[in-house]
Amino acid sequence: MKINLKFKLPQKRTDGTVRKYTRSKFGNFMFFAFLFLFGAFSVLPLIYSVVTSFKPLDELLVFPPTLFIVKRPTLNNYLALPDLISGLNVPLSRYLTNSLFISIAGTVLHVIAATAAAFVLSKVDLKFKKTIFLIIQLSLLFNAYTLSIPRYLIYNGMGIIDTYWVYILPAIPSSMGVFLMKQYMDGYIPDALMEAAKIDGANYLRIFWSIIFPNVKPCVLTLVLFAFQSIWATIPTGTIFNESLKTLPTVMSTISAGGIARSGASMAATVIMMIPPIVVYLFSQSSIKETMGSAGIKG
């Protein structure tokens, strides 16, 4: 299904001059003011988390609360994090290493799997591929809570409980990644490119690595952001019992459950957890708008 966007062109008046359709200066001001206000509002939680992470305990308990003001900033909330998890006999660096390894490995495997599946569904002559793609779209309706019991049974049958695969395996066959990549290929990769490669004698594997993959870089960067953010924040329930295999979000959630006395340390942990996804976003933000726009044009 294609959506045709029609734009009204400038019209000629009877005297031969051209009428231009533009907003007034006041309209432009109101438009940008509207965007600025909503953009500033969306940043407030981030600012609140950073400011709160530098507050001492007495400022956290003051009433009425000072949301965005800190009188005596301190680093004690960050310095207290290693001591708060010292009773677990696992250093903080171990949890950080686990999170980075799982997030990077899961993201790479997810991008490769989603791109390969989308290539087959979009450019390969395959029977029932419309039905397969419809099933993939329907799978987006299932959330993690619905899949928790089936996943546990599968992991237990495969014998991968208490291994890194519990984190990585669910991230590989993500339906959202396949959906976005397939829509992007439909809109930006012409079939003539495939035909030319076949005439030159290239097989499907060569076409995928040498032609398709380099031309879907904007969508790849978008998938990297979504996958990394999702895997980084994953907290497995009932599948990881070895403390040395747990990740940073698992430990940080334990700190956050310590009550108001640990609210400063909890915010410090939250800020630390936000840094890697923000860094990934800064490298891929220019590609997200293009990818999401292409995913909505064709369906």
pLDDT in tens, 252-280: 777 766 666 677 777 888 888 888 888 87
Residue 13 is predicted with a pLDDT of: 54
> Can you tell me the distance from the alpha carbon of 91 to that of 110, in angstroms, rounded to the nearest whole number?
29
Average pLDDT over residues 211-216: 86
Residue 280 is predicted with a pLDDT of: 79
Q: Which residues contact 228 (CB under 8 A, 6 or more apart)?
A: 103, 104, 107, 276, 277, 280
Residue 299 is predicted with a pLDDT of: 42
Asked if residue 22 is part of any domain, the answer here is no
Asked if residue 199 is part of any domain, the answer here is yes
Asked if residue 179 is part of any domain, the answer here is yes
The domain containing residue 153 runs over which residues? 108-244+277-297
Asked if residue 67 is part of any domain, the answer here is no
Kindly list the distances between the CA atom of residue 222 and the CA atoms of 63, 170, 179, 273, in Å, as whole numbers in the listed order. 43, 19, 12, 20
**Which pLDDT band, with edges at 50, 70 and 90, does 141 fall under?**
confident
Asked if residue 195 is part of any domain, the answer here is yes
Asked if residue 196 is part of any domain, the answer here is yes
Interval 53-101: pLDDT, tens: 888 877 777 777 777 777 788 888 888 777 776 666 777 788 888 989 9
Number of domains in the chain: 1
> Can you tell me the distance from the alpha carbon of 228 to that of 233, in angstroms, rounded to the nearest whole number?
9
Residue 216 is predicted with a pLDDT of: 87
Asked if residue 285 is part of any domain, the answer here is yes
Q: Give the pTM.
A: 0.75
Asked if residue 120 is part of any domain, the answer here is yes
Kindly list the distances between the CA atom of residue 127 and the CA atoms of 113, 131, 155, 189, in Å, as whole numbers in the listed order. 20, 9, 31, 21
179 touches 137 (CB < 8 A) = yes
Q: What is the mean pLDDT of the chain?
A: 79
Please count the other Cβ atoms lying within 10 Å of the Cβ belonging to residue 256.
16
Residue 285 is predicted with a pLDDT of: 67
Instruction: Please report, for the domain that includes residue 176, its CATH number.
Output: 1.10.3720.10
> Can you tell me the distance from the alpha carbon of 290 to that of 252, in angstroms, rounded to the nearest whole number?
34
Average pLDDT over residues 138-153: 84
